[in-house]
Amino acid sequence: MALLVILDGVGDIRARGKGTPLEEAKKPNLDGLVENGAVGLMSTLGRGLAPGSDTGHLAILGYDWKNEYPGRGPLEALGVGMELKEGDVAFRANFATVIKNQIVDRRAGRIETEEAKKIAKAVEKIKIDGVEILFKHSTEHRGAVVLRGKGLSAKIKDTDPHKIGELHACEPLEKTKEAKKTAEVVNKWTKKVMEILSQHEINKKRKLPANALLLRGAGMHKNVESFEKRFGMKGACIAGGALYKGVAKYIGMDVINVKGATGDRNTDLEAKRRAVENALKKYDFVFLHIKATDSFSHDGDFEGKKGFIEKIDSAIRFDFETDVIVVTGDHSTPWSLKRHSGHEVPIIFSGELVRKDDVKRFDEYSAMRGGIGHIKGKDIINMIKNYMGKNEVVGS
């Protein structure tokens, strides 16, 4: 069996007189893994490219991010538990407060999950011009929308302007009848949703009513070859965040839902560890995703990121009985930059068949001297298969 651990946005750079969070954190278990393995630096999509969370994970899991990426919407929709068919157009959606066509709050006052769930029921399924439009709420103001029908296109503009201000109509981004039709359907649906939500009992009592749904990240779902078919391994995903579950579902992996795995800094790492232990009994390949390393960096919080790495180290322990354990990130998110960057990410390969190098620590600078050298995201699964002794000969 193999375990791939992605510490989201873990890669960093030295800044303001500090070492990187990986350099400064006490993490005896991760460093121990390095002692029994080899390290290197990984460019998820290619040198200097800053990966998104979606493309980054697709590449790491062995998919062609240029040709097999359906857009963010379908991955989010799958991640919140919706089923998709080829040709469906999906979006990320969020409840907002719109007054006189002005977006007053993009998150409807960060509406609480329970209240949003009740409101969502009113707009779960609407049919417009023969197109079925499904909405599924996830947490707080968030959810996903799926358009199902003939002749749709994802080449349309977001209705979410990503800022306060006028609510714009959806517009086609190309001159095709599919894009035109889809934009029209979205506009009719947006209007209809606002009519329904404005009348909702709960909203009548809210200062910032959740009276609109804003859409972004349009993408058209397509069926891709399953991870099992492509790599001959039965895979499972353990993650908190919807996107990561969505990526796993997109490639046909089982998603193991873990109570307390929230995808944020309060996630139950112990519960995730136990879930990994169990999954390794049933699956050839387990993908564990931990999100908050990235979130601390987006907040520019060095101490938070460092402390969370220490928490991960002591909770996950990395002492699983497997053929190979790989630990890396999907990209670097330097805390001093507060955003994804194209800096390489350190990566550990640990296992019986790994040629050990003489590096002793897991961090960006030690990894420069690692025996693995520089690799790309797409190399990882093939290397894992090799270290599992499972790869087939190419040719004869």
Which stretches of the chain bind a second copy, using CB under 8 A?
13-14, 38, 41, 45-56, 65, 69, 72, 217, 334, 337, 339-343, 353, 355-357, 364-365, 368, 371, 373-376, 379, 381-387, 389, 391-396
> Under a CB-based contact definition with an 8 Å cutoff, are residues 211 and 97 in contact?
yes
Helix (H, G, I), strand (E, B) or coil at 352: coil
CB of 45 to a second copy, least distance (A): 6
> Under a CB-based contact definition with an 8 Å cutoff, are residues 219 and 154 in contact?
yes
When the beta carbons of 24 and 379 are compared against a second copy, the nearer one is: 379
> Under a CB-based contact definition with an 8 Å cutoff, are residues 12 and 293 in contact?
no
Closest listed residue to residue 182, CA positions, set 250, 90, 79, 103: 90
> Under a CB-based contact definition with an 8 Å cutoff, are residues 323 and 353 in contact?
yes
Cα(329)–Cα(306) distance, integer angstroms: 15
When the beta carbons of 130 and 389 are compared against a second copy, the nearer one is: 389
> On the CB side of 22, how many CA atoms lie within 13 Å of its CA?
30
CB of 378 to a second copy, least distance (A): 9
CB of 323 to a second copy, least distance (A): 12
CB of 373 to a second copy, least distance (A): 4
Helix (H, G, I), strand (E, B) or coil at 97: strand
Phi and psi for 18 in degrees, rounded to 5?
-105, 150
> Under a CB-based contact definition with an 8 Å cutoff, are residues 96 and 168 in contact?
no
When the beta carbons of 194 and 215 are compared against a second copy, the nearer one is: 215
When the beta carbons of 82 and 354 are compared against a second copy, the nearer one is: 354
When the beta carbons of 134 and 388 are compared against a second copy, the nearer one is: 388
Closest listed residue to residue 10, CA positions, set 327, 269, 243: 327
When the beta carbons of 272 and 387 are compared against a second copy, the nearer one is: 387
When the beta carbons of 164 and 353 are compared against a second copy, the nearer one is: 353
Structure tokens at 365: 């600078």
When the beta carbons of 273 and 343 are compared against a second copy, the nearer one is: 343
CB of 388 to a second copy, least distance (A): 10
Cα(289)–Cα(307) distance, integer angstroms: 18
Cα(214)–Cα(162) distance, integer angstroms: 9
CB of 301 to a second copy, least distance (A): 19
Tell the residue number behind the tokens 């579902």, with chain if given. Answer: 249
**Tally of CB atoms within 10 A around 361:** 16
> On the CB side of 216, how many CA atoms lie within 13 Å of its CA?
12
When the beta carbons of 258 and 383 are compared against a second copy, the nearer one is: 383
CB of 259 to a second copy, least distance (A): 28
CB of 379 to a second copy, least distance (A): 4
| DSSP assigned state of 241 | S
CB of 342 to a second copy, least distance (A): 3
